[in-house]
Structure 1
């Protein structure tokens, strides 16, 4: 079943919000004579518009003709290019002969469509459009192309192939993922473009395909730090390990931490252990306890070593770091307002007294929004224990360790929650290595890439665990973050950023400017350039179709959601209006979600908001969805009520014929109460 296009809703909006008719020389249109005036002038009706124009030929009131604009200055002058026409039998052949147009099938389709919808179009535009129809991209239907051409005229967009393709692909509700995959495949196979251009394109696409890279990297760093900061399994564990190995036959068999960490000893070692337990110099119970403690220590040490190696592999810790010295090798950040810069100031500023340092620490902790009350209390207790002493160096060292522990916990516990101030994961980076906090987003993406390319089993295991945790904690805040990241990396706001003098260097790393550079390069291969042009057309189409007509507003977004092993093609269409003060009136709106889900396949969600009462229609071919949805309604209702919205109901409907669903959507859009905006939270 094909998901319906946007056309029914768009057409209706265009009928409601008509802009003034603008005629151009050479345009041809179908119109009827409504009133005759002196000097061969007449009132002509063209669709829903009326205009007064000078005629080259006397006409009769009530007759309909094809007219061609011969002049627009100082007044509109029209030439009749056909005899009187009965509206129900528009003579396409007659018009083709009058304008000397090619008698191709494409031209007949064009004229029929434009005359039926009473759209003015010039002869040159007809010839251009005919050429486009003859060379449509693979998988594009003629009817879709005709609708795009109609939008081109309706929206008064320059009649260019770029504009045509933008509206053609921008109206599609699925397939953007397929377009991206095809482009990536061609990019991988190509060796003609420069390595730097290729790398920039891959980085932009990876940021779109993996919107949770920074969260994933932050989790892995936090887990590793947590493991390294865990206390030893027992005070005498190291002595227990030495006790078991020293003075026994086991040391000759190569017993070490790795073997102790395994579940069982080899059979020959087990038998020798039995002899030691019976005849050895150490009492039996003491040896058994020693073995158990040593085994725990070995396992703990192996886990810590793996965590240490993960941080060394990502270049967060230097190569010479080990379990004993890693804390002493940290180089904290000097970036203002970070925890790392605060520790740095305490370390290298010897002027303040101990009392002043304690006051500074207390103030910093109290003003830090990302620490829990329990964590703040623990640090206050630590600081209090140093009152009256002069061991400021030891205080700063222990504070550094406590902050590492606290921000690691907050990074793990605060996934997909609203961040205040500098995020816990950025604070954690600032406490580990100063370079990482300078541009934390890029640093975390690079670290995530290192983890993903690692061949170390411990890294792979922690990566899988982190992804599973992210998926289990995914919520509305997480989805909002993912969508924001994807739209940013698609480069939809690239032109707006240029006008606002924003961070151009960062915006240039997004997909759209990279695609523009590729298509403008004359050395780019034709097939790769064509794939890039299709992606650009989708991005431009979203912007062209998003706009306003009076108070009415429409926003369209195509979002390829790929994350944590899940893949969703999503298109969101929002229709509403703004208040007089230019702000969204959140009481009224209509939002359509066109989704291509992994399990449910093609799905349309029609969400209608009337006076803050929300009604949802779900269109899908699967049976029994009501049963699965029932447990979720309570959560949905509660979430809406938190924002002062009230759920009226959730209805499930199968896709009828495409035409039937289109009518349903048109009916739903034709609300007596005017549409208004709503702050969407996905």
Structure 2
């Protein structure tokens, strides 16, 4: 009764208690809290994205909080937010990266013009010249080591333009002193380096040096540790374009361009070929999406994500050899143990509440992935990116165990739950009996889906055949009657199955 009173929805709490009883789960508050949070059905990816945002905005600056942000980023729980945050950074660094080909640099600069970060029609040399000319104006900007060196270098070039040097070689020497100097507070030149006859050095000889300064500054910023590096690169971007509103707008446009390259077919005319190469290069390097055409790749990604969530923490603890702690720290740098650690630190109440919710969701997956006599149940909910859309992928496996303790691939049932952008709630029920597969797709657009999928059924049948499975049929139904309507809800998986009572459920 106390649990139900504390829960904010008794009508959800009662079925949870029923589930705990039917499945013979321990009657402890931790189990109730975990299943209660699971049954509320809030999308997992939204919880994680919101938590990531709270960590960023809420002032939790402990090492644990920083590590959690990194772990959440590796799950790509806020892809749109990520693209907004570092899409523009990636375009700038591609332009300045010494490993980029001339075509890539040119295309990246062209994309920077499209975002408005560089004024349209302004050539690279004119942009670099404007940086040299505006060096004095930027004196008041907050600096880090990379910006400091860049600023001093640009000031030197500005002086050179006004006749402070006789030869380009002198400027090169002076710039190298600044870049290689450990204490670059006041990198003054010895008087003897100045020739008696000074001259105005033309801008075209100075712009390559300005570019060299920029490259060095960005290389130094990126070399800083991962989290700090992003901050330093952001500072540099602010130094190059002091109009904060324009920079914010450019970040949005950079994210738009990256989204387009995810979603539009290759022939779409939104960017030139080289620009598309840059966009796909940025996405491939930083927003690796799963290749759904490659089964082993998908399997590998799913396993990696279960590790990142920390679902294997207890397993790792139990199987930890007494004398070998070498690999164990890796298990402690995952989501669940980091959340447990964060909850023991001084953190704001809102962050604590959200951390508890996520912890409960992870624990619920572990509780519901249980053995029931000879039947093994497994539940996995993962935050998922399909193109630019974020969703949850929930997988439920249920089947008898083999002698090795694994699910028997000849006799099992697999359920996929997906919330899609246009197709909305989708459930795929796959039943395997003696390696014969029957698939039911439950969706509000069943008829349309059936027509669209027709051309792929032959390929599905053929590929299943290669794995020694036979497809008996695929049916598309609307979620309107009986069980199908129930599947549209937010189920606590396996709750209806009850406990195993000695009869083989396949018969």
1:200–1:509: 8 Å Cα contact kept in structure 2?
yes
2:291–2:298: 8 Å Cα contact kept in structure 1?
no
Residue deviations 1:6-28 (CA, integer Å, cap 9, x gap): xxxxxxxxxxxxxxxxxxxxxxx
1:570 partner SS: strand
Q: Quick one: which of 276, 293, 310 aligns to 1:475?
A: 293
Distance in structure 2 (CA, Å) of the matches to 1:311 and 1:643: 53
Trace 1:576-595 onto structure 2 (pairs within 5 A).
576-595=399-418
Alignment of 1:516 onto 2:387? no
2:479 partner SS: coil
2:425 partner SS: strand
2:399–2:411: 8 Å Cα contact kept in structure 1?
yes
Equivalent residue, structure 1, for 2:279: 464
RMSD: 4.9
Equivalent residue, structure 1, for 2:69: 202
Distance in structure 2 (CA, Å) of the matches to 1:451 and 1:512: 30
Larger RCO (CA under 8 A, 6+ residues apart)? 2
2:429 partner SS: strand
1:615–1:647: 8 Å Cα contact kept in structure 2?
yes
Residue deviations 1:184-237 (CA, integer Å, cap 9, x gap): 34333323x443232122112111126999xx99xx99xx7985599xxxxxxx
Alignment of 1:646 onto 2:470? yes
Unaligned runs of 5+ in 1: 1-129, 231-255, 260-301, 319-435, 437-441, 677-682
Equivalent residue, structure 1, for 2:310: 491
Distance in structure 1 (CA, Å) of the matches to 2:292 and 2:375: 34
> TM-score normalized by structure 1?
0.43
**Cα 1:451/1:207, change in 2 over 3 Å:** farther
Distance in structure 2 (CA, Å) of the matches to 1:662 and 1:656: 9
2:290–2:297: 8 Å Cα contact kept in structure 1?
no
2:437–2:469: 8 Å Cα contact kept in structure 1?
yes
1:497–1:507: 8 Å Cα contact kept in structure 2?
yes
Shift of 1:663: 9.2
Distance in structure 2 (CA, Å) of the matches to 1:518 and 1:528: 9
Alignment of 1:598 onto 2:416? no
**Cα 1:615/1:196, change in 2 over 3 Å:** same
Equivalent residue, structure 1, for 2:354: 531
**Cα 1:669/1:131, change in 2 over 3 Å:** closer
**Cα 1:557/1:583, change in 2 over 3 Å:** closer
Shift of 1:307: 13
1:560–1:569: 8 Å Cα contact kept in structure 2?
yes
Residue deviations 1:320-351 (CA, integer Å, cap 9, x gap): xxxxxxxxxxxxxxxxxxxxxxxxxxxxxxxx
Q: Quick one: which of 540, 546, 555 aligns to 2:363?
A: 540
Q: Quick one: which of 117, 135, 156 aligns to 2:6?
A: 135
1:558–1:572: 8 Å Cα contact kept in structure 2?
yes
1:599 partner SS: coil
Distance in structure 1 (CA, Å) of the matches to 2:299 and 2:395: 13
Distance in structure 2 (CA, Å) of the matches to 1:510 and 1:611: 38
2:289–2:385: 8 Å Cα contact kept in structure 1?
no
Shift of 1:447: 8.8
Trace 1:158-237 onto structure 2 (pairs within 5 A).
158-171=26-39, 175-191=43-59, 193-209=60-76, 228=101
- Count of matched residue positions in the alignment of Structure 1 and Structure 2: 351
**Cα 1:660/1:228, change in 2 over 3 Å:** closer
Distance in structure 2 (CA, Å) of the matches to 1:542 and 1:520: 23
1:475 partner SS: coil
Alignment of 1:149 onto 2:17? yes
Bigger radius of gyration among the two: 1
Residue deviations 1:344-388 (CA, integer Å, cap 9, x gap): xxxxxxxxxxxxxxxxxxxxxxxxxxxxxxxxxxxxxxxxxxxxx
**Cα 1:526/1:447, change in 2 over 3 Å:** closer
1:169–1:537: 8 Å Cα contact kept in structure 2?
yes
2:409–2:435: 8 Å Cα contact kept in structure 1?
yes
2:77–2:383: 8 Å Cα contact kept in structure 1?
no
Residue deviations 1:563-611 (CA, integer Å, cap 9, x gap): 6523121111100011235344321110011111122111111001111
